[in-house]
Amino acid sequence: MSVSDIVLEVDRLRVAAGAAVLVDDVSFTLRRGAVIGLIGESGAGKTTIGLACLGYTRNGCAIAGGRIVFRGQDILTLSAAGRRALRGPGVAYIAQSAAASFNPAMTLFEQVCEIPVRHGLMTAAAARAVAVGLFRELDLPDPENFGRRYPHQVSGGQLQRAMAAMAMAARPDILVFDEPTTALDVTTQVEVLAAFRKLIREHRTAAIYITHDLAVVAQIADDIMVLRHGRMIEHGTAEQILQAPREDYTRRLVAERVRGHSFVARADGGAALLSVRDVVASYATLPRVIDGVSLEVRRGDTLAVVGESGSGKSTLARVITGLLPREAGEIRLGGEVLSAGLGGRTLEQKRRVQMIYQMPDVALNPHQTVLDIIGRPIGFYFGRSRGEIRARVLELLRMMDLPESFIDRTPGELSGGQKQRVGIARALAAEPDLIVCDEVTSALDQLVGEEILLLLKRLQEELGVAYLFITHDLGVVKRIANKVAVMLKGQIVAGGETETVFAPPFHSYTALLLSSVPEMRGDWLDEVLARRL
Amino acid sequence: MLRMIGLRLALGVMTLLGASMLIFAGTEILPGDLASALLQNNATAENLATMREQLGLDRPAAVRYAQWFGGALQGDLGRSLATERSVARDIAPRLGNTVFLAVYAAGIAVPLSIVLGLMAAVWQGSVFDRMVNTVTLMTISVPEYLIGYLLMKYISVELGWLPTLANVTEQTGLGERLYLTLLPMLTLVLVVIAHMMRMTRASVLAIMASPYIEMAFLKGIPKWIVVVRHAFPNALAPVISVVALNLAYLVVGVVVVEAVFVYPGLGQLMVDAVSKHDVPVVQACGLIFSSAFIVLNMLADIAAILANPRLRHPR
């Protein structure tokens, strides 16, 4: 490899938003055909670095120092028009959510052909031919006509691949992938990841691959850079980072992914707390979302409901809590039949089933203090006085390992993990028997999510509360649940004790799900693809 | 999608029915019995009874409503009490004048406000943006009659460029008509432009925060193309409904401007009819105004449905 192979050189990059420094002293070089993985939790500055490589900063941010040299030219010295000419044909961007990043009012052809046509590199017809070729390369269905569709007419995995086609349309030197598979289901993620890797290898395009998932980056990157709070923690070859991390932070990240041991509690048995029999539910005009689901939760149980998006997991939670009335079937709580709608349930029945939500940011009223939020169910269900409520809220905060001073804060003054703890405290304030946890860790960073799981576990041991734990993360299931139900298209296809369901012989769908969870080994993707052929 | 459009049409028809009932009921309960108003000093008990019979006031209200609305649907709006001529024939030229002025003003105001709104969005925060915002806010805040008189004073009286009055007749040719109504048209444009321009600007800017707009910038597309091609099509729905509201105002709400410029429009006719207790004319004008309002809003709803690619191209 010669020096002229270097397509990008980032040198002591510094990005600031006013007085706050988002990225500081980050340097790396990228050769033709090489892939560097940027790893870190949210707020690590990964996306900011990726965007800076296109000479772009989000509102309020500015590149405050360093150089970004693209093929011998420092892009920070370019004029606005010069930077615009670079974006697309020189460096192209692939965003996390294709659903949000495609314009809903334009066809895929219009959007995919836009880079070569608007930059005056191809005629509309030539660009269209290139698009069709890329659609074919990316295994998209009916490549000739695929581009005539609007974004809402294709699936999430297809849209993510269409975005890769859009980025590749003008044959850029560098692709910036920003968490491109994070929003996808595990089984879809495998296909999309394979398509991306094929594209990069065949076109010898250099790439910056941004993700928080070490196992994903292990499949695609030659080098890995670990970032935290905008600073470089560690930078080395993929093998070195994964096998022999030098820094403590990297070791924690790696350890979190490979943790194999299970700390599943035994349920104390006894009569069923919640029993769901042949429940059917649907939204207005659509086909059945839940179709004949039966399950049982005992005191102290953690029942994990797993499945991909659209399988009916969250709908099941809404039916159990009564937010969505069931159409048929029976739900019993401690022997009493629960009415379908929330209106028909007694205060006591409502109190016994509480819920924790996926997005702590939107599940808490931003105008209320922590005291109001946690105190409301105490006043509502138990009718306590103001003084008693305050004492109880302080007690709950201590249980959540939150400082007592948080009682007067509003959600805006808390971090994501702290907000989720407040959400848990609110659920516990009602002293429920069953808590429905809907993807409670998926909006949180790995290490923060890990702490939330440990907290839930400890609370269960102390209080004996049962969890119905909805998740798409199989790693979480193995660690926290003693029972599991695998959902597919509104039905439970496999269920029972966790070790039974997750040990051979598997149901075929369970096997597919399990084999799709990325592993840290660099050859994992090849193995999976080979097995599926 | 056809079902949604059908629903809009059905709702429009029901609203129109409701509005016609309100108009009928409203004129029924106007103070002063129609017969006594007509007879004035000759209102002896005997005369009143005869008059009521002639007018059909002795029959129940529901029957009279059915007759009136049924007639209106066939274009028969009854006879004017003041002139004893067919209301439809009296109204036709006036309605033509009102629609002419509305179309004239809309033809200028709608494209102008959308272009200004898009330009303000492209140059958000610039001097141009602030100037357009301030000026249009001023013109919408000043009552329309005052704008009318100010334009008249400066443009007609002091500069002598345009006539002060817009007294058109049925014989006035198109060119002459456009010239005579230039001043009332300008007044109306100044009144309606702010609302549409600000809505265009605000809804485009709201869309500009979307990830797909950032994506367009990351594809190296110039800003004005991003605004016009990527943002505006997604910002159409609120713009359409505001345009419809303003079009409706141009038909229904211009009575003050008509009075200022002595323009023989429908609004003037209605005001005259109210002062003369000419109930059939008042009812007819009310029905036309409410129909215009309902039809324009219904069309806006349908256009907004058609502007949504998710509904136009189902999965």
ipTM score assigned to the predicted complex: 0.76
Closest chain B residue to A153, measured at CA: B315
The dihedrals phi and psi of A64, each to the nearest 5 degrees, come to -100, -10
Gap between the Cα atoms of A426 and A430, Å rounded:
7
What is the crossing angle of helices A508-516 and A524-532, to 10°? 150
Report angle CA A27, A31, A32 to the nearest 5 degrees.
Answer: 145
CB contact under 8 A, B310 and A152: yes
B275/A426: higher pLDDT: A426
Find residue A275's DSSP bridge partners.
A296, A332
| Contacts B210 to A, Cβ<8 Å | 100
Q: Is the pLDDT of residue B41 over 70?
A: no
Q: State the average pLDDT for chain A.
A: 87
Q: Which of A107-111, A416-420, A526-530, B194-198 has the lowest mean pLDDT?
A: A526-530
| Contacts A86 to B, Cβ<8 Å | 220
Burial class (CB in 10 A: 0-12, 13-18, 19+), B3: exposed
**A45-102 pLDDT tens trace:** 889 999 999 999 988 888 988 999 998 889 889 898 999 999 999 999 999 888 889 9
B121 touches A at CB < 8 Å: no
The residue to which tokens 């409520």 are assigned: A389
Q: Is the pLDDT of residue B42 over 80?
A: no
Pairing of β A20-31 and β A206-211: unpaired
Q: Nearest Cβ partner of A118 from B214, B215, B221?
A: B221
Domains and CATH numbers, chain B: 87-312 (1.10.3720.10)
Strands lying side by side in the sheet with A73-74: A20-31, A6-17, A62-70, A73-74
Beta strands in A124-260 (DSSP E): 174-178, 206-211, 223-228, 231-237
Gap between the Cα atoms of A331 and B303, Å rounded:
45
pLDDT for the residue B31: 58
CB contact under 8 A, A93 and B215: yes
pLDDT for the residue B33: 62
The percentage of chain B sitting over the pLDDT mark of 90, rounded to a whole number, equals: 18
- pLDDT level of residue A397 (50, 70, 90 thresholds): very high
Gap between the Cα atoms of A140 and A126, Å rounded:
19
Q: State the average pLDDT for chain B.
A: 84
DSSP state, A434? E
B309 touches A at CB < 8 Å: yes
Q: Nearest Cβ partner of A86 from B220, B225, B309?
A: B220
Distances in whole angstroms, Cα of residue A426 to Cα of each of A321, A360, A399, A409, A412:
16, 12, 12, 15, 17
Q: Is the pLDDT of residue B35 over 80?
A: no
Tell me chain A's radius of gyration from C-alpha atoms: 25
- State if pTM tops 0.95: no
pLDDT for the residue A226: 92
- pLDDT level of residue A12 (50, 70, 90 thresholds): very high
| Contacts B215 to A, Cβ<8 Å | 93, 95, 101-103
Q: Is the pLDDT of residue A1 over 60?
A: no
Find residue A111's DSSP bridge partners.
none
DSSP state, A178? E
Closest chain A residue to B232, measured at CA: A105
The percentage of chain A sitting over the pLDDT mark of 70, rounded to a whole number, equals: 96
Domain A272-370+430-502: top CATH class: alpha beta
Interface test with B, best of A58, A103, A175 (most B CBs within 10 A): A103
Q: Nearest Cβ partner of A56 from B217, B229, B234?
A: B217
Q: Which of A91-105, A355-369, B19-33, B191-205 has the lowest mean pLDDT?
A: B19-33
- pLDDT level of residue A261 (50, 70, 90 thresholds): very low
Q: Which candidate, B283, B257, B282, places its Cα nearest to that of B272?
A: B282
Beta-carbon contacts of residue A128 (< 8 Å; ≥ 6 apart): A109, A113, A147
Q: Is the pLDDT of residue B36 over 70?
A: no
Domain ranges of chain A: 3-258, 272-370+430-502
Residue B256: CB atoms within 10 Å: 17
What's the gap in Å between the CA of A389 and the closest CA on chain B? 42
The mean per-residue pLDDT over the stretch A490-509 comes to 83
- pLDDT level of residue A286 (50, 70, 90 thresholds): low
Beta-carbon contacts of residue A283 (< 8 Å; ≥ 6 apart): A289, A315, A324
Length of chain B: 315
Which positions 187-216 of B are in contact with A (Cβ < 8 Å)?
Answer: 210-212, 214-216
* Residue A219, SS3 per DSSP: coil
Region at A473 (left for phi over 0; alpha for psi -120 to 50; beta for the rest): beta
Q: Nearest Cβ partner of A101 from B215, B225, B229?
A: B215
The dihedrals phi and psi of A228, each to the nearest 5 degrees, come to -150, 130
pLDDT for the residue A206: 92
Beta-carbon contacts of residue A363 (< 8 Å; ≥ 6 apart): A356, A357, A419, A423
Q: Tell whether omega for the bond before B264 is within 30 degrees of 0, i.e. cis.
A: no
Q: By the 8 A CB rule, do A361 and A443 touch?
A: yes
* Tokens read off for A360: 């702590």
Which positions 81-120 of A are in contact with B (Cβ < 8 Å)?
Answer: 83-89, 92-93, 95, 97, 100-106, 114-115, 118-119
**Sign of the CA dihedral with B95 first, then B96, B102, and B103 last:** positive
* Tokens read off for B64: 């009279």
pLDDT for the residue B43: 65
**In three state form, how does the secondary structure of chain B look?**
CHHHHHHHHHHHHHHHHHHHHHHHHHHHCCCCCHHHHHHHHHCCHHHHHHHHHHHCCCCCHHHHHHHHHHHHHCCCCCECCCCCCEHHHHHHHHHHHHHHHHHHHHHHHHHHHHHHHHHHHHCCCCHHHHHHHHHHHHHHHCCHHHHHHHHHHHHHHHCCCCCCCCCCCCCCCHHHHHHHCHHHHHHHHHHHHHHHHHHHHHHHHHHCCCHHHHHHHHCCCCHHHHHHHHHHHHHHHHHHHHHHHHHHHHHHCCHHHHHHCCCCCHHHHHHHHHHCCCHHHHHHHHHHHHHHHHHHHHHHHHHHHHHCHHHHCCC
**A194-219 pLDDT tens trace:** 888 888 888 889 999 999 888 888 88
In this structure, CATH architecture of domain A3-258: 3-Layer(aba) Sandwich (3.40)
Q: Would the CATH topology of A3-258 be identical to that of A272-370+430-502?
A: yes
Q: By the 8 A CB rule, do A23 and A49 touch?
A: yes
Q: By the 8 A CB rule, do B24 and B280 touch?
A: no
The mean per-residue pLDDT over the stretch A233-247 comes to 88
Residue A249: CB atoms within 10 Å: 16
The mean per-residue pLDDT over the stretch A339-348 comes to 88
pLDDT for the residue A2: 53
A148 touches B at CB < 8 Å: no
